Structure 1
Amino acid sequence: MKLIGENLNIMSAVYGKALKEKNAKPLQELAIQQAELGMDWIDLNIGPAGKTGEELMAWLVPVIHEVVDLPLALDTSNIKAIAAGLKAHKKGRPLINSIMVRPERMEALLPLAAEYDAEFVGLLWGPEGMPRDENERGALCAEIVFKATGEFGINPERIYVDPIQTPVNVQQQQILSVLEFMKMFPEIAPGCRSTIGLSNVSNGPPDHLRPILNQVMVILLKRYGLYSAIVDCFDTKLHEVARGKRPDLEALVHKVEDGQPIDTKALTPEEVEYVKTAKVILGHQLYSDSWLEV
């Protein structure tokens, strides 16, 4: 699985301050760390950046490429900033993160993807907002893929579809909908790839519970062919799971999903945590912050 490092983010106390002050050093140090930790892209999340986005992205892309050769994901809702980042990007193929399935966003950003031969994340957020189920996800997916490939001649391999991950403590049913969509995805969008903002599943629960949620979620998605994910670059256990180095944990989570009986008394403490977390994510039990303790 390919990994996109999420940590260079305007919402971070350290890196957000560095972005606002155009202080290159901490941003470059983070970029080097992400490269050393095996990320395949570095996400540059500058937020909306309404007035300063174009100038900031034009500065940031070369600053990061001074120290690493990784391709960059340009993460902002500012269309001019995306254009500036694409123009400045010289190492590898850039990734636009993201293009929503809304007419005004597609009309503005798909031509840029085509012009720069960029990859892009097709975010399944439509004119009415969040899709309600896997069928609405499928319809939105078909719409953006058809427009990108048919109208703009974009290679399907350049398209990364994101079905939108939701927090486990808010909408467990939406998580099941994403898994159902992933089963349908190869037929809906042949040749396209998939991605997801993985850490959204743990957005809300206490910090110490976030890694196990992310790790179990990636196992569930990986089973249905998830190609890439936007992840915490410092969660090295997540990297191992995503890249197939923990088949024991994968098999255990699959047993939970398939409803097979599991003797928890025969498991290690680590394995018990994975079983309990899978049950919460899959809706076998209601979420609570104390699910690992019961």
Structure 2
Amino acid sequence: MHHIEAHVHHLARYTHHTLRSMRHAGGTPVACLYLAAGDTWGLNSHGSIVNFNLKNPDGSYVGYAQVERVASLYNIHLRTGCVCNPGACQAYLGITHEKLIGQFKAEELCIPLNPTEPLDTTGASLCGGRVCGVRVQGLDCGEEAGDWLSRMLGMPDLRLMMQTSHRPGKLGNGGSGASGESLSLANESQYLIIHRPSVRSLLREIKSRGLEELTEDELVKRFRGNLVTDGGEAYEEDSWDTLTINGTTLQVQGCCRRCQMVCVVPGSGQRTREPMLSLSAARGSSMLFGVHASASPAPAKEKRELCMGASIKVTMK
């Protein structure tokens, strides 16, 4: 065991010293490392943990979610955030007591043992998870419902979950998926629009890295849009306000923050490093790509159609 202890200690020290020496092209540090006062990385005084934040070339911090996502593409598993040691985070990052308490109040930490639902939930068990970073709670509808889904879809071990908690929308400007509005487990909005000039710009970034060969259409599919537009400039969709197609007006609600699903190849389930690596480099820590939109309600007897090749009228914010 003492050999393992020494080996792990030296790996951690090497990681720490390497991170400390790294610089961006402009000379600014790549990482900010945290050590207790008087810590000299001795075998008997320091364990196997390296605490650090990564920084952008301008000195701003890289979000821990972005670090975790990119690291996972290289099969590097990191413990991110401040869950393990909030006291150290508070001290090193200068977080006030009020802000720290507010963060803990924001968690959904209470789960009712006897949920009251309008439907018969006899025998149902509580379950939950995260959808786009938001904790969602629900009820497992039981073996019978799960078995039926598995038979109908030809996939084993499926479960039916009934959502019981409020999932707030993160978008603004009203409409479906508006900020604070309760959403389902699936979508943030009615429509996700992908703009081909932006796809081409990102494709050039991907090709410059040479990590993966993708065609334009393959890259479009990675972002799983409902509507695909063309014409204009790359990333101009960030400033769109409305789109009108064949008399139907779509209200743009905000940009889509992408997750690791863009690295999963539709159809095969294969997982790759692109386009997330290039998207992170091109768009920063928010990794925005595509915009959410909703259609204005139509009169009961009005028929609306969206056709391929139709012209689009865009208004800007």
TM-score bucket of the superposed structures, by smaller chain: under 0.3
1 or 2 for the larger relative contact order (CA 8 Å, sep ≥6)? Answer: 1
TM-score by length of 2: 0.25
- Structure number having the greater helix percentage: 1
Q: Which has the larger radius of gyration?
A: 2
TM-score by length of 1: 0.26
- Structure number having the greater strand percentage: 2
